[in-house]
Every structure is written in C-alpha cells, then in structure tokens.
Chain A
Amino acid sequence: MIGFWTLFYKEVLRFWKVAFQTVAAPVLTAMLYLMIFGHVLEDHVRVHGIGYTSFLIPGLVMMQVLQNAFANSSSSLIQAKITGSIVFVLLPPLPYSSFFIAYVLAAMLRGIMVGVGVLLVTVWFVDLQVVAPGWVLLFAVLSGALFGALGMIAGIWVEKFDQLAAFQNFLIMPLTMLSGVFYSIYTLPTFWQRLSHYNPVFYMIDGFRYGFFGVSDVSPVHSLAVVASCFALTSLLTLALLKRGWKLRT
C-alpha cells in the first residue's frame, strides 16, 4: 500500500506545485464563460423554469471536472514518457492496479478541486440551491474518475504532445461542449437531440445538474447507469493496457 500512496502523493504534488496553471487558470476560464454567457442570456433564456446563469453553473463545473481530470493523467504520462522518467514508476514492484488507482484518484482529485473552485467563485453571481448533494458528489466522483482513466489511455497511447492535443481538441472538447453544458438538449432539433443521447458526457452533466435543481432531461438513475457502465469499460481497458505494458514496456 505504501507504493500506491506514494504514487498518488507524487501525482497530487505534481499538479499542486503548479496549481496556478492546473487549478487557478481553469477556474478563471469558467468564470469568464459564466460572466459572458450569463450576462448575455440571463434575461432571455430560462431552462426547466431555472434562470440561465443558475442553469449554466453546474454544466461549467462538470466541464472543468472532466477536462482537468483528463488533462492530469494524460499530461503526467506523456511527460514521463517523453522525458524518460516513466522508468521510475516502471522499475519498482508496483502492481498495475495500484498504478491505475493512483493515477485515476489524483486526476479525479484535481478535477474536483477545480470544480469546487469554479463553484466557489460562481455562487457569488446567483443564489444556487443544491437539492440532492449525494447525486452531485456521485456524478462528480464517477465522471472525474472516468475522464482520469480516459486520460490514462490517451497518455499511454500517444507519443507526442501534438497527438495528445488532437485527442483533446477533436474528442474531449467536442464531447464536453456538445453535451448540454450551455443548453438543454430539448432545445435542439430532433436529430441532434437523438445524437446527444449517444454522448456519455450528456448523462454526466444532466445527472450532476439534477443534484442541484431536482430536474433533468433524463432520469438520474438512467444517467448513473450510463456513466457507471462507461467507467467500468474504460477501467477494464486501461487495466488491460497496463497489464500488457502496451507502449510502456517494449
């Protein structure tokens, strides 16, 4: 267990030492989104009877949780692979399950820290109620872990920073932006509504939002089942890659 805790501690220390970049900067970005979109749309748009700024906040929080969890594990692995310092974790007797859990927990922690930061600075703009905190926590933890695991797959798979940027810009960013962060999918044309149901991030944001307002586009139990299944599949794939040493051991 000491090996696992050390790897977890190292991963947390790694992002904490550059917290201005890894925690403060995404909080500022989310605040800018809120100020701009909230100012423009607050008087014109209501979703499920909720004011637009209030509706937007949970989406922004979850978007930052996901993007930062992904960034943490993926950047840590790609940096270690490129600099060669990955040998320091490959040489010791660490079981691959410890490797997986330590990276995913650290990624999830960074995502949630950024999410809490976003929440703390944005609640000054509106009086935000949380009707079901259990759902909020459950979706934050599970979704952060899922994107932490996805970041591990990306970090193991890619060999250059530009490949990782492509992964982020052409997969992660569209999935999060087109998931209902800024709108309810029921405001979309039928085709795009249907397509949104194939985006797992939609369920993460919808379930997370349910915890705040008690209303959602689909049932939170349905969302939880989708997110939990995606997490299970991603975890199994990551564990299989680590066990094989794919792109880590020659």
Chain B
Amino acid sequence: MRLRGWAAPSATVVSEGKRRSDDDDKKKSSTKRRDDKSPGPRERQKPKPSPSKSPRPQPSRSATPSSQPSATRSATPSPTPAPGTTGPTPTRSSTPTPRPTRPSPSSDDDGEEREYDSQADFASHQMQQDAPETHFLETPQLSVDLDLSSRDLRFPDGAKFKMWVFHQDSSGRGFPGPTLRPTEKGIFHARVEPSMGPHSIHWHGMEPDPRNDGVGHTSFEIDDHYTYQWQPEPGRTHDPNYGAAGTYFYHCHVNTPLHAQMGLLGPLIIDPIELPGFPVAPGNRRAFADGPEYDIATESLIMPFSIDPRWHKMGHAAGLSGEDVGLNRFEPTHFYITGGLLAQRRETGEEVWAPTQLPINVSGHGKAPSLMRFLDGNYLPNKITFVNPDGTPARIAELVSHDGRPYRHTATPGAPAIPTSMHPDPSAHLFTHTLSMGSAERYDLLLHPPTAGTYTLRIEWRDWITGHKLAHRELPLLASCVLKGPGNQTYTRLGPQLG
C-alpha cells in the first residue's frame, strides 16, 4: 500500500533523467535551455489514475501549465546608494503604517501576493526567470562560476549512483560541489548558469537579501543565469552580534528534497578578517576573527551523507505537478562519511570526496590544534562519538562554533562577549566526546588528543521518526605530534586502523 503511486510516475521520470544526462554538451546552446525550461520537460502531465482505490488529489487547473506569470519584478530600483538619504526619515513619529494585507492587483512583489489554485499549482510555479538582474552589482573580491552536471559517481563502497553536481569550469564533476571559501567583508559573486533546467543556490546560513538567498518562492529560480552577490559580515572583537566566519554549505533550493539528495550541495567556509590584537601565526588560521587559531594543514570538513537509491532515478521536477513520487519516504541504504582534509582536496575528475583516515595534531606539541568542520549533510539525525585508542569515550572535541556563530559568554550587557574557546577559565570551554545533531546543522570542533595514537570518529545515523539507529561508520583519526603532511611515514607507528 505504501508503494502506491511511485511506480506509475517513475517511468516518465526515468526517461527524463536520461535526457538530461548529457547536460554539459548542451551548455552553450540557447535552444537547449528553452527546451529545458518549464513547463515543457518538467513533468506536467496529469497525474495518472492511481491503481489503488484511494482517491488521489487532482491538481485541478494547475495541470495545465500556464505560461503565465512569473511575476517579473522590475529590476530597476532607484539607484540611490547614499545611506543617509534613503533611510527612513528620522522625523517625529514617522511610524510606518503596515502594508495592506491585500495588495493592489498590480503588485508583483516577490510573488507573495499571488494566489494559487492548489498546492500543485504553487509547486509548479516557482517564479522562474531567465536572467534576473543583480541589483547594485559591485566589484567582487571572490567570484566563481557554477554550473551543474549529471554524473554516475562511484562511492567508497563501490556503489554507483546518478548524481547531480555543482562544478566550476576548471573543476571536475565530483561530489560534493567545489569548496567555496570567501573571506569576511569581501564581496562574493557566484554566477550560476544551470544547464539542467531551473535551479537556484541557497547559501545556507548566509543571510543576504531575498534576491540573493536563492529560493524560488521568495525570489526566483534561474532558467538561464544569475550572479548571486553577498558580503559576509565582518566580525568585531568580543561582539556577539557580528561576524560570519564559520562553516556553511550551499545547495539548490528547487524541489529541494530531491535536488539536495541528488548531490546539488557543496561546502561553504567563511574565513575571518584579521582583527587588531588577533595576529595569526604562519601555517595557522583563526576559526573566527577573535577566535582560536588552528592548523591549516589538518583542517577538515566531515559530512555524513546517505543515499536512497530509489530517489536517484527521478527527474528534475518529480512530484511538482501533484503526482505521488514518494519524496516523503527517505529510506537510505548507503551511508557515507564524505569530506577530508580541506587543504588536500583535489577538485578534479569525477570522484566522491571521502576520507579513509584523518591526521590530527596531538595537543600541546607546538602545533595549533586541528579544526574539524562537521556538517550533517543528509536528512537524518546524526550522533557522533570520539573514541580513544583503548575504546573508551574520548573527550577530545571542543566545540567552538555552531551554524557559523561562535559560542560566547553573553551574561553581561555591554561587557566583552568572550568566546568560550578563548576563555581563560578552562571550565568555560565546551569539551565533549559526543554530539547530536540533525539535518543541516554545523559544528566546528577543535580536537585536543592528549597523546599520539589512533582515535576513532564514530558516526551514527538515526531514524527521523523512531530515533532508532540505522547505521554507523567509523573514521580513524591518526593523532601525531610530528605531522608534516599527508602520507608521512610517522603514521605507521600509530597502531592498526579501526573500522
């Protein structure tokens, strides 16, 4: 009974997937994009009669793809960049009156005021625009081009899955997408030209204006191209209200359950500006502007990811027209630890970035500690545990940041908000051997193994309904005091690998 509705739509869906697989070749073809643009190839057919007795929702009128309305907002605001003149008039009681609930019919503000006939109508009309304009474009400090490809990628256990991946011209076609690493205060541009029909990029945790936030129903999906622009807020010394440095990720926000599982995501790390009084030793970086230093050579990104093979046979717009494609059922059978040393990442070829082991620095031997940036990259809760070489819980992880914001002491108004990781009182530091989190959360951890040896990072996946353990994977952490680089022979004295 629970499989009802899946089999029927999948047939059309698979063929579409095939059609899309050679996206790279179509890249510069203008006709291609027309074709790929909705409503054409998105599955707009009426939902097929269900074999089951249970009546299914009919998306009524929406099943007819209307070519109407991407309410294209005028992309020319009055370009008066002077702050002083454009802010609210600071006169007497310039209390703004709330906007009317019902706008004038001419309003095309973000699509907000548009009403939809049905959920299927709403789902299949997500404000696609060909080439929306970037407002107030500035000169970027970092600029990247991103496109998409479909590839059959081999995972560490040998299984192969069709993946959709973000890539740059210069990079390979691997998973996850290229690591993007802007610095606070610098203008960041990402020109996105999706070859495979409408997509978008949401910079998860970064907080720009809605046009640059990358969500269809609050701005637009990109048919042809768009240049996202934002500027990571710089940190200020001991101020808990400012600063973007930390760990993020980016992902497509179109039909998100499917597109993110298909692989359309990548690491995004914001590096801090350098503040007076917080110099950085050679070979080190700070986790955030007034935060602790870490060793660049052993900085890692670790992302649990799991795959439900059934999902990897669907097409771009599966489910949007109201057909039941079972995207409420995520039943992964393959569980992976992806990521690795950031400094060692090769973004070439068609490979899945995954570690087999990870070097980390032993605490207090002249090197700054290793920083692990942990991201729950799948849809399930993860519980992680650090284990000593003798199998006991290892309280070696110090949490310094969460979701791109440092942990700080904030008890006293107006007083400096000291980061827990910089506090002179050791009991302020957030040490742990275990950490629980759910989808899309990030934690930055400094690792402080007291002695050399092979520690273990154990990652468990939990069911999102029952909480029952579904799987676990282990990653050996090779702690050494004389680490110089990858493949260093000194690893061999550290004992047998686990897992």
Q: Do A and B bind each other?
A: no
A→B interface (CB under 8 Å): none
B→A interface (CB under 8 Å): none
